[in-house]
Amino acid sequence: MLNVKVLGPGCANCKRLEAMVQKVVAERGLTAEIEKVTDYVQMMRWNLMHTPGLVVNDTLVVSGRVPNEAEIAGWLAGAA
């Protein structure tokens, strides 16, 4: 099972990223636990400087921008 964390305080881009991750997981039939992390102390575990951030299996794969669905699908497939 994939462990996916969306890092961010709840801004529009953070919500957009979370929705995109859920869509990609559902469309590809992946098994994933998706968690929203809004606590800044927890976010700093990954040295996040800009939100939103996306963590897949404890690895920060992107921060400071909303990636496209193909990028998200690639990261999830690579970690599965």
The answer for residues whose C-beta is within 8 angstroms of residue 24's C-beta and 6 or more apart is 30, 69, 72, 73, 76
Q: Which pLDDT belongs to residue 80?
A: 80
Pair 49, 63: CB distance under 8 Å: yes
Distance CA 63, CA 48 (A): 7
Give this prediction's pTM: 0.94
The 10s digit of each residue's pLDDT in 2-49 is 999 999 999 999 999 999 999 999 999 999 999 999 999 999 999 998
Kindly indicate the confidence band of residue 75, based on its pLDDT and cuts at 50, 70 and 90.
Answer: very high
Domains of the chain plus CATH, in order, are 2-79 (3.40.30.10)
Q: Tell me if residue 33 falls in helix, strand or coil.
A: strand
